[in-house]
Structure 1
Amino acid sequence: MMRSFNAGDLTYLLLAARWTVVLSLIAFAGGGLVGLVIALMRVAEARPVRWFAIGFIRLFQGTPLLLQLFLVFFGGDMIGVPLGAWLSVILGLSLNAGAFLGEIWRGSIQAVPNGQIEAARALGLHYGQRMLRVVAPQALRTAIPPTVGFLVNLIKSTSLAAIIGFVELTRAGQQLNNATFRPFLIFGLVASVYFVMCWPLTIAASRLERRLALAYKR
């Protein structure tokens, strides 16, 4: 039996949005750790290490995120390690984010002028010192805008968690639509909540890009 949409349903959507935020932050943190390792492997001097990083990036960038979530969710059951929806989404999103962040940060690292790296090598700095003292401070400036932009995409990508049953914002919208059959109203509200979460980050990323562009011109 269908019922009308009420204030309690709106509260339910907003509470579900908390899980979208939590899921995004955890996946971004996990993806950041994976991405940092992949980025450093991508610019490593050892060729096999670089090849592994390239293969990892191509694997996760070349396949749909939804299929990656399916493989993690159902693959765990097949090997006798059921992960559940929560851990499956965290693991799948973190690995996917790690591939994209690793490539973003690899580009930022390689954007540092090679002459500065050679000068640091001439001063006797070993690889770790060169990366920490010379490369990282400069790469950080160029990495921030695309990293913030990727976070926006990650927030929207969490909606795929609904497919494997994790109740976040999109899944909550599906549940309410099944109960009230008000798709335009409910999914319009869901889209509005995503917009409120993502729009400030989009503006911040655009401003950072403009500031960096002005700084480089100077």
Structure 2
Amino acid sequence: MNLGEFLFLLSGLKWTVALSAIAFVFGCAGGLAIALMRTSGIVPLERATAGYIALFQGTPLLMQLFVVYYGLALLGLHLNAWVAVSLGFTLHASAYLGEIWRGAIQAVPRGQTEASSALSLKYVSRMKDVVLPQALRISLPATIGFLVQLIKGTSLASIVGFTELARAGNMVSNQIFKPLLVFGVVGILYFLMCWPLSLYGAHLERRLAAAER
């Protein structure tokens, strides 16, 4: 593998990082909205968001990307590969993060909510100042774990022709006919992205467990 081919892999790595960041940031925003609706006590909202989560957790990510790219085109909405995979991964992330944070919100001791209600705090203040800071702390290990899965899942974006790290590796492999070498490098690049995050998530989980003793 020469320098130009390695730089092409790094270009794919750049798009993997960009796609992961976009999906995670917008997925966080959507996930927070879903978590709040899931715990709102409003039955129609809870049922609608439960169905949304079940849909995305119960179907393969590959199929979701396929539907967003090709299905919307059938309805007359033609998206380029970059927009399609960003939308697909964002919807996927919002469903999973919404369920993670729903569990974290419900894990906050009920007495905290009752005490804030007794102090006449309104819903927004109660969630912003009392519940969500504690829920965020509880959910951090699982959130980081999902981010690791999201980064690895970006390899499926090649289904619509998006050139991220895995697709770049496949293209280089087809040129130089050294798949073991190329995908070994690709694997190392994925490892260098995901391993520090996994270590950080495990560290946070240990700290949280120690604080609860």
What is the alpha-carbon distance in structure 2 between the residues aligned to residue 119 and residue 11 of structure 1? 57
* Secondary structure in 1 matching 2:174: helix
Residue 162 (str. 1) matches residue 158 (str. 2): yes
Q: Look up the match of 1:134.
A: 130
Partner of 2:6: 10
The residue type paired with residue 110 of structure 2 is N
Q: Superposition pairs for residues 40-59 of structure 1, below 5 Å?
A: 40-59=36-55
CA separation in 1, counterparts of 2:99 and 2:41?
17
* Matches of 1:123 and 1:7, distance apart in 2: 64
Q: Deviations over 1:29-86 (max 9, x none)?
A: 1111110110000001211110011000000000000000000000121111110111
Q: Structure 1: which 5+ runs fail to align?
A: none
Name the residue aligned to 1:115. Answer: 111
Inter-partner Cα distance in structure 2 for 1:191 and 1:84: 27
- What does the per-residue CA deviation read over 1:116-141, in whole Å, with 9 as the maximum and x for residues that have no partner? 11121122112222111210111111
Task: Specify the alignment match of 1:199 in structure 2.
Answer: 195
Aligned mates of 1:13, 1:151 — CA distance in 2 = 21
Measured after TM superposition, the shift of residue 109 of structure 1 is: 0.5
Query: Following the alignment from structure 1 to structure 2, what is the Cα–Cα distance between the partners of residues 93 and 199?
Result: 21
Determine the C-alpha separation between the residues in 1 that align with 2:32 and 2:6: 39
Distance 1:34 1:136 in 2: 15
Equivalents in 2 of 1:20, 1:164: separation in Å? 14
Number of matched pairs: 213
For residue 69 of structure 1, what is the amino acid of its counterpart? L
Unaligned runs of 5+ in 2: none
Amino acid at match of 1:101: L
**C-alpha distance in structure 2 between counterparts of 1:70 and 1:119, whole Å:** 47
TM-score, with structure 1 as normaliser:
0.95
One-letter amino acid of the counterpart of residue 199, structure 2: I
Task: Establish whether residue 71 from structure 1 lines up as the match of residue 72 from structure 2.
Answer: no
Provide the aligned C-alpha RMSD in A.
Answer: 0.9
Query: Paired residue for 1:91, among 87, 91, 97?
Result: 87
Query: Is the partner of 1:81 in helix, strand or coil?
Result: coil
Looking at structure 1, the residues matched to 87 and 59 of structure 2 have their Cα atoms a distance apart, in angstroms, of 16
Matched, 1:106 2:93: no
**Deviation beyond 2 Å, 4+ runs, structure 1:** none
1:162, distance to aligned residue in structure 2 (A): 1.1
